[in-house]
Every structure is written in C-alpha cells, then in structure tokens.
Amino acid sequence: MRWLAEYYRARGHEVSGSDLTTGGHSAENVNNPDLVIYTSAIKEDNPELLQARRIGARVVTRAEALGDVANTFPCVIAVAGTHGKSTVTAMTASALSAHNVAMHLGGRVNGKIGSVNGEILVAEACEYRRSFLSLSPHIGVVLNVELDHTDCYKTESELKSAFAEFASKSKTLICPYGYDYLKPAPGGRKIEVGLLGDYSLIGYETSGYGSDLIIKTPYGLLNVHINAVGRHNAENAVYAVASALEAGADFAEVRKGLKNFGGVDRRLQKVGELKGVAVLSDYAHHPTEIKASLSALADVGIKKPLVVFQPHTHERLTSFFDDFISAFLGVDLIVLPVFNARGNVEGKTSEDLAQAISSVGGNATAVSSFVEGAKAVQKFTSNVDGIIVMGAGDNERILPLVLKR
C-alpha cells in the first residue's frame, strides 16, 4: 500500500490513507476521493469502505490497483511463491540496479533500491485471495508452492491451480525444476531452477553475516556475494540472478547489485545485543520458514537460541499446528499472543502451542503481553547465545523492551 501511495503522489495526485495502528478507520477519513484502494485484509463492513461506496467513489482492491499500475511499465517482473517473495523481489531489483527500476514490496529494505518510476517494475505478487492474478508479467517467477492461507485455499490442489493460472499469464516463467503443472503463456518460455535446471546453486559458503555463492547459469558460472545467511537465502539469490539476467542485466551489474544488497528488514536481521547476546528480528511465520531461519542461525554461530514467537492468525496456527510443534522442538521458546491480522479469534491459541510443545519434552512458555514476554527473555539470557524475535505481526514492539531502549 505504501508504494502505491508514493506512485500516485509522484504523479501529482493528492493521497491520504489510514491504518489501524495510526489513528484507525473512520468514515470521516473518506473526503470525496476519486479513487479508494483497500487491502484484502479489510472486511466489507469497514466504515471507510462503506462510506466510499455510499458517495460513489471508484473502489478497487490493492491487487487491482497494482495490476492497473503495472500495465504502464514496459517490463514487469512479478515474484510469487509461498516463501521468499519479499527477499527475491528486493534482490532482483538490486541486481538490476544499473537499470531504471521501480520496486513494489511488502516489506522494508535496508538502503535505497528502486523508485516509483522506471523501465522495469519488480513486484512482489501475493497469492492471498488470488491477488497475483491481476498481473500479466513479462517475467513471472514462482519460488515454491506450499499450502498456506487456508482461509482462502482449502486444499493444495486449489493453491496449485491458482499458481498455474499465474504462470499461464507470464510470457517468461521462472520456476523450480519439476513443477510440470506450471506452464507459461502460449508461445512463452519456461526457465527452471534446480540442479537439473537452467540455473542452480553449486557453491555456498557463509562469511560472517553474508554468503559467497557460485551459481550455474546458461551463460556461464557466476560468483556473487550476498549480505544474507542461510541456504534458503542462497537459493533465493539464484532466482534473483535468473530474473535479472533474463531481463537483460549482465554479470557485472548483477554481481555489484547483489553485493550492495542490504537485505529486507526482519529477515534474520541483527538489531542489537542484550548482555552480549545477539538479538535478531525475523519475519518467519510458517513452519517451513521457521525451520529455514532456525537452521540458518548456526551459520552465524548461534547454537542455543531463545525464540520469541508471535503466531500470525489463529487459522494458520490451527491448520499447521503439528508442524509448528516440530519446528520449535529443540529451542527455548516464548510464545506471544496470536496476532489477529484478519479479526478471526477462533482456533488454536498461544497457550495451546506452548502446552503441546512442553508435553512432548520441549521448553515453551506462553505469555499474555509484550511486557511479560520481555521479562521472560531476561530470565533466559545466561543460558542462550542468541535471541530471535520471530513472526509477521506487530512483534517488533517487543524489541525496545527487550533491548531496554
């Protein structure tokens, strides 16, 4: 939403907006606009949405607005997938830094990447409520397909069908090797990533909080350095390299852009220290993402982490409950209250998760607030070598309490 606001403002439009965390929603905020754009998290009885329709304003979803905007760019790279979209989007834009690039991203990046204008738009394409089907990209990227958002996809088959439709709208499709059900638009090209594919990761070594990679491409081997750790981020870089090269970048541009890539906020991001122990912030909120992030901690020397986790929606916690249990076995865990991104309070709770983990030999404690969570962290600092605050909600608010600033 932020990027869309900047896009319209840069073209001379008067833009206003509202958010639950910055003043809330009220019909009074809707002051005779020509266009109202709302996220898919907004419910139909929202007072601003009702007012906009009452006065006859044009009302569209964020996805529809992005689709309209994307049609104004000569080249669009759309990055989809259950995991890694934000990171690959930002990496791709950085790898194309010698070009005039605009970047639409759900997260925040460290450093300046892209703008609201450009010859190439690199856009994060979200599958939630099939939002990504508003795009018909020149290059469509599918990183992975794993069941999530069970409030709109009841089965993996439904999810695969949506991704297949996204792929069919892409002139050039970049996807994992073996995803045979994904096909590009008629007459388009399919480029596969994996050991038997067109692009693959054949060398990976960590270097502090960065990684040195060797990537096989159709144009030869490419050595690059990224300021990110974890094999999942190394694999992310392969997709960014493929996207950038297929969009017209050369090796030198890609190598320089990825070396300067500062990372996306809350992706294994070191934010400070508590009594000499590193404190990291991470966005992982699906069991697969959690396992990848915890695995990557060993690359930066963290062997005994304390995880402060905020479940993101009761639906997700309920749908993948057993997977959450297995993801957190072997680490000390503090569970914050569930973040209700879409208002549904039915389903498993943080207390359920903590009790289930403890019942099978794990060490988990549920807390009722950020203040209580910060106090619980203080008790663990002598027994751990890293603290990671994890989740996709508003759990960043605990960091100042943990760091005492």
- Residue 27 identity: A
Claim to verify: residue 176 and residue 291 sit in the same structural domain: no
Phi, psi (rounded to 5 degrees) for 12: 90, 5
- The predicted structure's pLDDT at residue 343: 65
pLDDT digits (tens, 9 = 90+) for 286-324: 999 999 999 999 888 899 999 999 999 999 999 999 999
User: Cα(80)–Cα(88) distance, rounded to whole angstroms?
Assistant: 9
- The predicted structure's pLDDT at residue 235: 96
- The predicted structure's pLDDT at residue 52: 97
Q: 6-15 burial string, b = 16+ CB within 10 Å, else e? A: ebbeeeeeee
pLDDT less than 50: residues of the chain: none
CB 332 within 8 A of CB 383: yes
- For residue 7, what is the domain's CATH number? 3.40.50.720
The mean pLDDT of the chain is: 93
Domain that holds residue 327: 269-403
Domain membership flag for residue 264: no
Phi, psi (rounded to 5 degrees) for 373: -65, -45
Q: DSSP letter string over 251-308?
A: HHHHHHHHHT---BTTSSEEEEEETTEEEEEE---SHHHHHHHHHHHGGGT--SEEEE
- For residue 322, what is the domain's CATH number? 3.90.190.20
Claim to verify: residue 78 and residue 129 sit in the same structural domain: yes
231-246 helix and 251-259 helix, angle to the nearest 10 degrees: 140
- The predicted structure's pLDDT at residue 162: 96
Claim to verify: residue 150 and residue 188 sit in the same structural domain: yes
Domain membership flag for residue 308: yes
pLDDT digits (tens, 9 = 90+) for 311-358: 999 999 999 999 999 999 989 999 999 998 766 778 999 999 999 999
- The predicted structure's pLDDT at residue 42: 86
Claim to verify: residue 95 and residue 214 sit in the same structural domain: yes
Claim to verify: residue 373 and residue 344 sit in the same structural domain: yes
Q: How many domains does the chain have?
A: 3
Claim to verify: residue 250 and residue 294 sit in the same structural domain: no
User: Cα(147)–Cα(288) distance, rounded to whole angstroms?
Assistant: 11
- The predicted structure's pLDDT at residue 391: 96
